Amino acid sequence: MRIGVLASGSGTILSALLGAELPIAVVVVDRHCPAEKVAADAGVTCEVVLRSDFSKSFDREGYTAAVVGVLEAHAVELVVMAGYGTVLSAAVHRRFPARVMNTHPALLPAFKGWHAVSEALAMGVKVTGCTVHLATEAVDEGLILAQEAVPVLAGDTEESLHERIKQVERRLYPEAVRAVLARLDNGEELS
């Protein structure tokens, strides 16, 4: 089972996935970022599908088609998002139905979207966490595959809380990917 990882940032999640010795065939980035070096250092091909347009007229369909084309060229069977900054169109889900995984820094369905950690702090919750789920066309929806709670401590800042969530994420995500691979190898469908 060949994995394609979509990344946009520092590459810490990518590094955790690579450290778990998962069958990663390609890393795709939407901007030049440290994840490129993480992939190169691991000897994994990294393809840049540069997103240069961040306006409202962004051609999401065309961009998604380019990303899907790269994934297909590398015979990817499972897509694993690792801090990917571009929301892709439905085309990726049509091409890889129930085979796109994502991680989110909250206990979904709570605190969906880009500001999950700051929203959890603003709401005064005592517990938040990390969720691994199947990505769908709707952002932060889809079948929940794994979750783990992270306590919110007195004096937490967005940065300190997010770092503790990332520590859990870097362990939980590779475990969840490995579990999904086992299910798919056994002929199970995810939905």
- Catalytic (active-site) positions: 104
| Helices within the chain (DSSP H only) | 12-19, 34-41, 60-73, 91-95, 116-123, 158-185
d(CA 47, CA 57): 24
Across the beta sheet with 127-134, what order do the strands follow? 46-48, 24-29, 3-7, 78-82, 100-104, 127-134, 144-151
